[in-house]
Amino acid sequence: MKFLSSTLLSIAFLALANMQVSNQVMAAPTPATADNKVAATMPQIEKRAISGINNYNCKLTAEHPRPVILVHATLLTADSWWYVAPALVKRGYCVFALTYGQYKGSAFGGLSPIEDSAQELKSFSENVMAKLNATQVDLVGHSQGGILGRYWVKFLDGKGKVNRMVGISAINQGTNLSGIVIFAKVLGLFTPSQPIFDAIAPSFYQMVDTSAFMAKLNKGGDTAPGVIHSNIGTRFDQVVTPYTNSFQKSGSGIPNLTLQNLCLLSLNEHLTMVNSNVVLQYVLNQLDPTSAKTANCISFP
Ligand SMILES: *[C@@H]1O[C@H](CO)[C@@H](O)[C@H](O)[C@H]1NC(C)=O
Ligand SMILES: *[C@@H]1O[C@H](CO)[C@@H](O)[C@H](O)[C@H]1NC(C)=O
Ligand SMILES: *[C@@H]1O[C@H](CO)[C@@H](O)[C@H](O)[C@H]1NC(C)=O
């Protein structure tokens, strides 16, 4: 069993590596040169147009009365929703996504201090609400995107603005240092170094489970008052470690779902969670519990 899980973990790592060279959002890191700046080692974002999102003329309906705002993960951008967003649009939701946390003009999102990113989410969401004449939004957040809304509600005067938050491998309890090592690898650094990271991506060490940021966020409970929470995580998470840190512990009855409990063989790791059919079905079920359907396990991404 131990062998099997470490094999599966290697496959998950391979999936991450593959993702950088080919498919979703990242291309291979630029090779480092002798006098490289760290920025030169960063993978490059592939642009993907997602049709139907950020349509400020979208009309809310009785069936879908709130705008849905998609909040991407660390090192990704709004483009990472290329799979989830069109599926929501097709079902009649008004769907919005921002790219936040582009620290010092980085191509990647999710790098700025998390407090600043939460402020970006707040401004973006308030603009959406004003344009659509809505009083509340629903948030779907991946990884770091799963905690920005909590910060907004708790510390940036967001009480009452968020109806529901669906976390996909959300970094609710932070990650131990193993998760940070993975970020270092993605950036082409051999070892994580807090001074380097604080200079290029201040959010990284804020996401460590023992950080002052995490202590502040989770003080007095890891939920946001008045919000309906739910989470889906994956056993093959290599960023939120241990993966159960993606769940919330304070509120009673907050559903946490481990992807592999729905799909024993699903290999989705942290970054590819948002490209999974099963995760998509989970999100749809949470956004509209009255039309919930069992996720379809056959279609492994
Ligand atoms: C905005 O919504 C309020 C109710 O929430 C309604 O009374 C008002 O007519 C709406 N305004 C527009 C421009 O749709
Ligand atoms: C982080 O958590 C994972 C999963 O529980 C564990 O395997 C790993 O050894 C931990 N790493 C550190 C640096 O504590
Ligand atoms: C969700 O997971 C957390 C952490 O494992 C646990 O404390 C909590 O009881 C779980 N909630 C439910 C409803 O099972």
The CATH number given to whatever domain includes residue 213 is: 3.40.50.1820
Q: Does 39 fall in a domain?
A: no
H runs (alpha helix) in the chain: 2-21, 84-90, 114-132, 145-155, 177-186, 194-200, 203-206, 212-218, 259-262, 277-287
Q: Which residue is closest in CA terms to ligand 2's atom 5?
A: 242
**Residue position matching structure tokens 């069936």:** 63
Report how far residue 14's alpha carbon sits from residue 239's, in angstroms, rounded to the nearest whole number.
14
Report how far residue 228's alpha carbon sits from residue 19's, in angstroms, rounded to the nearest whole number.
32
Report how far residue 83's alpha carbon sits from residue 71's, in angstroms, rounded to the nearest whole number.
14
The pLDDT, as a whole number, for residue 72 is 96
> From ligand 3's centre to the CA of 253, what distance in Å?
8
Q: Does 28 fall in a domain?
A: no
More confident residue, 159 or 293: 159
Ligand 3 pocket mutation, candidates 234, 256, 286, criterion most atoms within 8 A of CB? 256
User: Is the CB of 253 within 6 Å of ligand 3?
Assistant: yes
Exposed/middle/buried for 13, CB within 10 Å: 0-12, 13-18, 19+? middle
Report strand pairing: 228-233 vs 68-71.
Answer: unpaired
Q: Does 2 fall in a domain?
A: no
Total number of domains in the chain: 1
Q: Does 245 fall in a domain?
A: yes
Q: Does 300 fall in a domain?
A: no
Ligand 3 pocket mutation, candidates 254, 258, 286, criterion most atoms within 8 A of CB? 254
Give 45's pLDDT tier (boundaries 50, 70, 90): low
The pLDDT, as a whole number, for residue 265 is 67
Q: Does 40 fall in a domain?
A: no
Report how far residue 188's alpha carbon sits from residue 199's, in angstroms, rounded to the nearest whole number.
16
> From ligand 2's centre to the CA of 240, what distance in Å?
10
Q: Look over the chain and give the mean of its residue pLDDT values, rounded to a whole number.
A: 82
Helix axes 114-132, 145-155, angle to 10 degrees: 80
The pLDDT, as a whole number, for residue 145 is 97
Rounded mean pLDDT, 118-136: 98
Write out the residue range of the structural domain in which residue 286 sits.
50-291
Report how far residue 158's alpha carbon sits from residue 126's, in angstroms, rounded to the nearest whole number.
10
Q: In this model, does residue 11 exceed pLDDT 60?
A: no
Rounded mean pLDDT, 65-82: 95
User: Is the CB of 249 within 6 Å of ligand 3?
Assistant: yes
Q: In this model, does residue 30 exceed pLDDT 70?
A: no
Least confident window among 45-59, 84-98, 103-117: 45-59
Q: Does 203 fall in a domain?
A: yes
Residues in Cβ contact with 140 at an 8 Å cutoff, skipping those fewer than 6 apart: 68, 69, 70, 71, 84, 165, 166, 168, 283, 287
Q: 130-164, pLDDT tens digit by residue?
A: 999 999 999 999 999 999 999 999 999 999 999 99
CA separation (Å) from 114 to 72, 87, 111, 254? 13, 28, 8, 24
Least confident window among 25-34, 51-60, 84-93: 25-34
Q: Does 301 fall in a domain?
A: no
Q: What is the pTM of this model?
A: 0.83
Q: In this model, does residue 269 exceed pLDDT 90?
A: no
Give 39's pLDDT tier (boundaries 50, 70, 90): very low
User: Is the CB of 173 within 6 Å of ligand 2?
Assistant: no
Report how far residue 293's alpha carbon sits from residue 283's, in angstroms, rounded to the nearest whole number.
11
The pLDDT, as a whole number, for residue 7 is 30
User: Is the CB of 256 within 6 Å of ligand 3?
Assistant: yes
Compute the Cα dihedral for 92, 254, 221, 243 and give only its sign. negative
Q: 197-253, pLDDT tens digit by residue?
A: 899 899 999 999 999 999 999 999 999 989 999 999 998 888 899 999 999 998 777
